[in-house]
Amino acid sequence: MENLKAKAFSLRKNVLDMIYGAKTGHIGGDFSVMEILVSLYMKEMNISPENQNDPDRDYFVMSKGHSVEAYYSVLAAKGFFPIEEVIEKFSRFRSKYIGHPNNKLPGIEMNSGSLGHGLPVCVGIAKACRMDNRPSRVYTVMGDGELAEGSVWEGVMAASHYQLDNLCVTVDRNRLQISGSTEDVMHHENLKARFEAFGWHVISVDGNDIDALCAAYDEAKTVKGCPTAVIANTIKGCGVSFMENQAGWHHKVPDQAQYEQAVKELTEKEEAARNE
């Protein structure tokens, strides 16, 4: 089997190339969410270029749409479009690879960018799949800052009301948003208990650990009668020492020296993972 841990580091380099080339992007959240996307797309979800029009496929919505660079790099690795083209055209004049997910591109179900939409949309997808007795599972990833949107909790309520056990939400719990710590901006203490109070099954894991994530998604598949939330405790900027846990790297663009240093660190981590 492919070494997914190494893959997550090599895909980060594609993210870096997109952002360094276009001089725009949201690198911190890209790097925190990478293992989540790799686990889902490379192991857990039944989604591929071959079955993208099969109504029985699994569904994924990127609720934290600003992490589009990580999303593009994983979709490209999955074969939906060529990575070279993404890196060359990302955010450029007249490009279809814009700075948020757009469903004119293959592999992308829903447009996003405005936070707090993904979960309620997934409630709709999951409910419809239930009505038609489809085997599809429905996934979305939200940021923890995003949880301040009221629409998130309206979706949380409806998902448990309709007992949508085909729905699995991941919170990229990196504890940072643009203005600093999520706990200073608008805190989410006892996040697990909050979801549980709404009737959800909740699994809290190390969100940059692919084994732990896959175990959580496997467990979610066995849960009956309620939706599952995976609280993925991640590190914003994960993989590059000077970006890790720094709010400023939410959407900073690396200069040449930083770019080179980042490539070096990611390559080292990729190789270490390969030799593990």
Partner 1 sequence: MNKIPNRQAICEVLNEAAKTDKNIVVLCSDSRGSASLAPFAEAHPDQFVEVGIAEQNLVSISAGMAKAGKRPFAASPACFLSTRSYEQAKVDVAYSNTNVKLIGISGGISYGALGMSHHSAQDFAAMCAIPNMRVYVPSDRHQTKKLMEELVKDEKPAYIRVGRNPVEDIYDEDDTPFEMDRATVLCEGTDAAIIACGEMVRPAKEAAEILKQQGISASVLDMYCLKPLDKESIIRMANAAKVVVSVEEHAPFGGLGSMVSQVVGENCPKKVATMALPDAPVITGTSMEVFNYYGLNAEGIAGKVMELLS
Ligand X SMILES: Cc1ncc(C[n+]2csc(CCOP(=O)(O)OP(=O)(O)O)c2C)c(N)n1
The residues binding partner 1 (CB under 8 A) are 22, 24, 65, 91-100, 102, 111-116, 145-146, 148-150, 177-179, 182, 185-186
Residue 102 interaction partner, one of ligand X, partner 1, none, beta carbon < 5-8 Å per kind: partner 1
Burial of 263 (0-12, 13-18, 19+ CB in 10 A): middle
Count of residues that bind ligand X according to CB under 6 A: 22
Say which entry of ligand X, partner 1, none residue 32 contacts (CB below 5 to 8 A, set by partner kind). Answer: ligand X
Residue nearest ligand X by beta-carbon distance: 143
The answer to whether the beta carbons of residues 170 and 36 sit under 8 Å apart is: yes
Per-residue x/- track, 201-240, ligand X (CB under 6 A):
-----------------------------------x----
Smallest distance, ligand X to C-beta of residue 70, A: 10
- The partner in contact with residue 174, picked from partner 1, ligand X, none with C-beta cut-offs of 5 to 8 angstroms by kind, is ligand X
What whole-number distance in Å separates Cα of residue 238 and Cα of residue 240?
A: 6
Q: Taken in order 3, 240, 146, 183, is the CA torsion positive or negative?
A: positive
Instruction: Name the residue type at position 220.
Output: A
Residue closer to partner 1 by CB (options 83, 148) is: 148
DSSP per-residue string spanning 177-189: ETTEEHHHHS--T
Q: Does 186 bind ligand X (CB under 6 A)?
A: no
**Phi and psi dihedrals of 230, rounded to 5?**
-100, 115
Burial of 12 (0-12, 13-18, 19+ CB in 10 A): buried
- Contact between 274 and 268 under an 8 Å Cβ cutoff? The reply is no
Return the one option of partner 1, ligand X, none that residue 176 interacts with (CB less than 5 to 8 A, by type).
ligand X
Q: Is residue 66 at the binding interface for ligand X, with CB under 6 A as the rule?
A: yes
Contact of residue 111 among partner 1, ligand X, none (CB under 5-8 Å per partner type)? partner 1
User: 3-class DSSP state for residue 150?
Assistant: helix
Tell me how far, at minimum, the Cβ of 64 lies from ligand X, in Å. 5
The residue among 6 and 185 lying less far from ligand X, judged by its C-beta, is 185
> Token pair for residue 33?
């969410």
Amino acid letter, 96: K
Q: Exactly one of 118, 145, 227, 254 binds ligand X (CB under 6 A); which one?
A: 145
Per CB under 6 A, does 119 bind ligand X?
no
With beta carbons less than 8 A apart as the criterion, state whether 244 and 237 touch. yes
Identify any residues that bridge with 141 across adjacent strands, giving them in sequence order. 62, 170
**Whose Cβ is closer to ligand X: residue 51's or residue 114's?**
114
CA distances in angstroms from 87 to 95, 180, 234, listed in the order given: 11, 29, 25
Which residue type is seen at 222?
T
Residue 111 binds ligand X, judged by CB under 6 A: no
Instruction: Compute the least distance from the CB of residue 154 to partner 1, in Å.
Output: 11
> Which residue ranges make up the site for ligand X (CB under 6 A)?
26, 28-29, 32, 64, 66, 113-116, 143-146, 172, 174, 176-178, 182, 236, 250
